Amino acid sequence: MAQSFGMKGSFIENLPKIYGLYTGGFVVFIGLMAVLEQMGVTADTIGILFVAFTVVIYAAIGWLSRTMQVDAYYVAGRQVPAVFNGMATAADWMSGASFVAMAGGIYFGGYGYLAFVVGWTGGYVLVASLMAPYLRKFGCYTVPDFIGTRYGGGKFVRFCAIVVLVVASFTYVTAQINATGTIASRALQIPFEVGVWFGLLGILLCSMLGGMRAVTWTQVAQYIVLIIAYLAPVIWMSNAQGFGVIPQFAYGDAVSRLTDLEAMHQVGTLKPVEAIAGVSALTVPHSVAGADWLSNWKFATLVLCMMAGTASLPHILMRYFTTPSVRAARQSVAWSLFFIFLLYFTAPALATFTKLQVLDPNLATGIIGKSIDDVMALEWIQKWQNVEFLKVVDSNGDGILQINEFFMRGDIVVLATPEIAGLPYVISGLVAAGGMAAAMSTADGLLLAIANALSHDLFYKIINPKADTRTRLIVARILLLAIGAAGAFVASLRLTSILGAVAWAFDFACSGLFFPIVLGIWWKRANTAGAVAGMIAGFGAGTWYLYMVHFAGMTPWIGIDHLRFGIIGMPVSLIAMVVVTLMTKEPDAETQAMVDEIRVPRGETILGSSH
Amino acid sequence: MNTTGSNREVHWERTRRLMITTLILWFIFSFGVHWFANTLNNFSFLDFPLGYYMAAQGSLIVFVVLIFWFSWKQHRIDVECGVAEDE
């Protein structure tokens, strides 16, 4: 690939130069768009250019990375340097939900919602210390590959792992395709149902020809776009409001100011007179933590589910199979979290600034407490109200907008912020491109995780072990197409909100996979029967509980609602696995020696580079 | 360098201890601190209410530093026990 850029040395050596040029090129493109806007090009055209241009770039990278080699297709040839793998993981990780919905969630949910921020970062401590380096030493292509080989090579145990992986990842991927559809339909002015298929086309172009290798290099490119797109408006706004260039450390004043404003506008006291479907009014104060036992318990349980889920989601774990060494896998986890941190510690700042823009009567953008007629005349209010993402109702008929009369959908906080703050449209276009990058990169990783598990573990290891390389890679691609199409079809039905589906994926993963993976590494005694019991009982109990509280109308036990059903699945999984393991024979000497071997970095991987 | 059995035992013992230390710190900043958020909000740090700050930023910084430290420390253990990879 390096040759096509006309550079000396290998592609890997040239990575900093290539992505440096790419970043520079993207900044020039933003500048060009700003110039076009000044020349009077319409906002819609700029939005279309932003989304179309970036998607074409990703597709081009995907095409350049095409391959017919098994280890390049499944693990990018195991040569991705730690820092670049960190960026790719960060893009893989930060989904449409993180990019689009997180700041909105904090806007409406206040302190309680920060459980997601803590949970989705702290999980990487578990990945680094318990999982990633050992799985890298193992040399597997997929997570079921590890479970299957570690637990005696049987077909049934591998099959159980495939089922959990597919359910968790598929739940997640529909949410991502949904997000690409939402953004594509807004930016390109096409119906949502068409947008979903357009998003899928982009996703498949990135992953189909080159598998993990193509996904890796597009994800790095997508990370660069999404982080610029997230940081730019926040830094702009904070400069405008006088909070300095690094607002993340300086918005403490803004948080205190919000507390005063909330008291003034009676946030929490004034409740909406009537509920309006799909949108909500602000009723939760920004920084007040719950004082009672139950709210602390709800915070902690959500944190735990998201963390254990992080450490069990196969599309994340498999990113660490691509590094050149065990040491690089460990360093790469640290870099991943660093790159994720850049966005996650900005999200609360974004929520704070946006809320301040809306609530503060001293700012030109403040709308609460202004006359309804003036507010209705604002362009961004009209625009979002037209698509029913926002609603203004004068419930007490006094002609003034109160806090309980302004309704908004959480998802639009990030997308609408540039307009709320009156930033030029070029920033809105940039944010749309960033949201698209976030949703596409996660969808790529998830689709690949599912297709790889089905092609490598189900087709090759269980159904047809004699298949040759060509057949395997063709099956992998057909599966990718089929699963992508299934995901797009489910997404176009719009069954769940973006965030609900995301949290469920974490709960499914941690219920079924967390303990079988961890104990497979840290407990030599763990055996096949135990792992099967752990997966079936944990996954089964979690799913049963989800069904009962979400669909069958059962009252949740001590605040454990449908977002936290991993709290039920995980202990059941642990107990079932330990009890059944202790009741059955210990694993044979060969398996025990294998576990000893994955615990030291030196030496060959357990599974060969092409297996 | 040879990797004898006892070397490996020492290596695994130290690796386990590092894992436990890491997870204790992880536990404190994942659960311990936030359990007392309401009380911590009475204090302020960089003008933030402290409980809010820890969930929005403080714990995150701790996690990033913790993993870099863990990664460095584990490599040192690997080298000292003679089980590090050849570069």
Which tens digits make up the pLDDT trace of A426-444? 888 898 889 888 888 888 8
Asked whether the beta carbons of residue A601 and residue B85 sit closer than 8 angstroms, the reply is yes
Q: Mutual orientation of helices A211-240 and A425-452 as an angle, nearest 10°?
A: 150
Tokens of A143: 């997570």
Lowest mean pLDDT among A171-185, A476-490, A527-541, B28-42: A171-185
Query: pLDDT digit string (tens) for A137-161?
Result: 998 889 999 999 999 888 899 999 9
User: Is the CB of residue A321 less than 8 Å from the CB of residue A127?
Assistant: no
State yes or no: pLDDT of B13 exceeds 80: yes
Range of the domain at B75: 5-80
State yes or no: pLDDT of A417 exceeds 90: no
Q: For chain A, which domains are there?
A: 11-374+413-598 (1.20.1730.10)
Q: Say which of A119, A296, A337 has its CB closest to residue B64.
A: A337
Of A484, A483, A567, A578, nearest to A525 by C-alpha is A578
Give me the helices (H) in A453-497, please.
469-492
Averaged over A455-467, what is the pLDDT? Answer: 85
Averaged over A394-410, what is the pLDDT? Answer: 82
The answer to whether position B28 is within a domain reads yes
- Name the minimum distance, in Å, from the CA of B76 to any CA of chain A: 11
The answer to whether position B87 is within a domain reads no
Write the single-letter amino acid at A425. Answer: Y
Query: pLDDT digit string (tens) for B29-74?
Result: 999 988 988 888 888 888 888 888 999 899 999 999 999 999 999 9
Total count of domains within chain B = 1
pLDDT of residue B5: 60
Averaged over A332-358, what is the pLDDT? Answer: 91
Residue of chain A nearest B35, judged by CA positions: A296
Q: Say which of A256, A290, A325 has its CB closest to residue B38.
A: A290
pLDDT of residue B31: 93
State yes or no: pLDDT of A496 exceeds 60: no
State yes or no: pLDDT of A387 exceeds 80: no
Query: pLDDT digit string (tens) for A289-336?
Result: 777 888 889 999 999 999 999 999 999 999 999 999 999 999 999 999
The answer to whether position B86 is within a domain reads no
The band of A3, judged by pLDDT with boundaries at 50, 70 and 90, is: very low
**pLDDT over 90 percentage in chain A:** 33
pLDDT of residue A354: 85
Q: How far is CA B57 from the centre of its chain?
A: 17
Q: Which of B33, B40, B67 to mutate to test the interface with A (most CBs of A within 10 A)?
A: B67
pLDDT of residue A526: 92
Residue of chain A nearest B4, judged by CA positions: A600
Asked whether the beta carbons of residue A129 and residue B22 sit closer than 8 angstroms, the reply is yes
The band of B27, judged by pLDDT with boundaries at 50, 70 and 90, is: very high
The band of B4, judged by pLDDT with boundaries at 50, 70 and 90, is: low
Q: Is B51 helix (H, G, I), strand (E, B) or coil?
A: helix
Averaged over A540-553, what is the pLDDT? Answer: 88
Contacts of A114 in chain B (CB under 8 A): 52, 55-56
Residue of chain A nearest B51, judged by CA positions: A289
State yes or no: pLDDT of A5 exceeds 60: no
Which range, A232-236, A267-271, A290-294, has the best average confidence (pLDDT)? Answer: A232-236
State yes or no: pLDDT of A347 exceeds 60: yes
Q: What average pLDDT does chain A have?
A: 86
Tokens of A64: 């350049």
- Name the minimum distance, in Å, from the CA of B1 to any CA of chain A: 11
CA atoms within 13 A on the CB side of A230: 34
CA distances from B75 to A49, A77, B21, B81 (A): 47, 24, 16, 10
Task: Please report which helix (H) or strand (E) contains residue A511, including its range.
Answer: helix A498-512
**pLDDT over 70 percentage in chain A:** 97
Q: Is A371 helix (H, G, I), strand (E, B) or coil?
A: strand
State yes or no: pLDDT of A1 exceeds 50: no
Tokens of A467: 């298949």
State yes or no: pLDDT of B7 exceeds 90: no
What is the ipTM metric for this complex?
0.93
Q: Say which of A256, A286, A600 has its CB closest to residue B47.
A: A256
pLDDT of residue A418: 82
Relative to beta strand A406-408, strand A390-392 is antiparallel
pLDDT of residue B78: 92
State yes or no: pLDDT of A281 exceeds 90: no
Asked whether the beta carbons of residue B57 and residue A602 sit closer than 8 angstroms, the reply is no
pLDDT of residue A356: 85
State yes or no: pLDDT of A243 exceeds 50: yes
State yes or no: pLDDT of A519 exceeds 50: yes
The answer to whether position B34 is within a domain reads yes
Lowest mean pLDDT among A298-302, A455-459, A494-498: A494-498
Token pair 């597709």: residue: A59
pLDDT of residue B16: 94
- Name the minimum distance, in Å, from the CA of A521 to any CA of chain B: 12
The band of A4, judged by pLDDT with boundaries at 50, 70 and 90, is: very low
The band of A97, judged by pLDDT with boundaries at 50, 70 and 90, is: confident
